[in-house]
Amino acid sequence: MLTKVIEQAKIDRFERWMGHAERIVIIAHVAPDGDAIGSSLGLWHFMNSQDKIANVIVPNAFPDFLKWMPGSKDILLYDHYKDFADKLIAEAEIICCLDFNSLSRIEAIANSLKAAKGKKMLIDHHLSPEEFCDITISHPGASSTSELVFRLMCRMGYFGDITKECAECIYTGMMTDTGGFTYNSNNREIYFIIGELLSKGIDKDDIYRKVYNTYSESRLRLMGYILSQMQVYPDYHAALISLTKKEQGHFDYIRGDSEGFVNIPLTIKGVACSCFLREDTEKSTIKVSLRSVGTFPCNQIAAEFFNGGGHLNASGGEFCGTMDEAKRVWECALEKFKPLLNAKG
Ligand code: 5GP
Ligand code: MN
């Protein structure tokens, strides 16, 4: 049995909306990850099972290793189909916002969402959601937004309508947002949910292989190169990896090729915080990814030094400046957080 995490009044209200609505739009965040796509497609399959006309819209492309997911071909990329997407958003009776806590996370879609007349619901697990929806289902304790979508469908009484395809999407989101159930994954109810998803016929081992064992040769060689350049700070229990545009050119880098790299330094004994600095291919900024283990709050570094935020163990931000400057800021952050980092050592 699952704890009733989502407030009943919100579920009741959403059910009332659903009773009257035909056209549903589901929106997830920029550079969608496994949970953004998994939760959106999970909800999309569910809406289809209820004979709704549903569309998933995301700001831009998502990684190839998610393209096997059932329904992924129907996802609308806003940067390619803006006019059509704007029409769908304007005409939607319900708009479900998944896996983001701030309008800035959907970039160019934000204006259309703000102008839309439809009823809006947020389902998310990031801290401190902005108030831009009529219903806000926000549970930072949840492993993933996908878990929350599963809980919502069940609480509405539709477990029976969850198809194998829907279950595959939900599982993928839960798996990717917990690093294959290696962090944020101590709530035993997660494993009850996995049992329920398995009862729908999903092959979790196959899903793991489809998501994680699909490297291209150039990605693996890039990984080898980045790790050979890695900087370890033993006195700070931290490590840094980086990737400049020039280096990207040497390895035929395509978006997503460095997905997950930031986790690798955490496999060094004693390293409690890992940082990955990557020059953006489109903007002249540096994308910052941070990961930590245990109770070290890497989101505080993201917020204080890189204009970002996120979860305790997985956060990120952006830096305007050169790679060398970004490295110096990271080293300042280490100095400031040295006592906390050493407490983890
Ligand atoms: P990633 O390193 O995978 O890009 O991001 C990990 C997590 O950090 C995301 O799920 C999100 O919560 C947070 N995050 C990443 N980039 C940003 C950012 O620029 N701003 C904020 N506020 N959070 C971010
Ligand atoms: Mn998520």
129 CB within 6 A, ligand 1: no
State in Å: Cα 101 to ligand 1 middle: 11
* Average pLDDT value for residue range 128-134: 97
For the domain bounded by 217-344, which CATH number is listed? 3.10.310.30
Domain limits, CATH 3.90.1640.10, in the chain: 8-212
The two beta strands, 76-77 and 238-243, are: unpaired
d(CA 179, CA 65): 15
315 CB within 6 A, ligand 1: yes
Give pLDDT tens digits for 135-159: 999 999 999 999 999 999 999 999 9
Domain limits, CATH 3.10.310.30, in the chain: 217-344
Residue 283 — pLDDT band, cuts 50, 70, 90?
confident
State in Å: Cα 10 to ligand 1 middle: 27
What class does CATH assign to 8-212? alpha beta
Which stretch of 6-10, 215-219, 290-294 has the lowest confidence by average pLDDT? 215-219
Residue 1 — pLDDT band, cuts 50, 70, 90?
confident
Residue 111 — pLDDT band, cuts 50, 70, 90?
very high
Task: Give the total residue count for the chain.
Answer: 345
Name, in order, each residue with C-beta under 8 angstroms of 256's C-beta and a sequence gap of 6 or more: 63, 64, 65
Residue-averaged pLDDT of the chain? 96
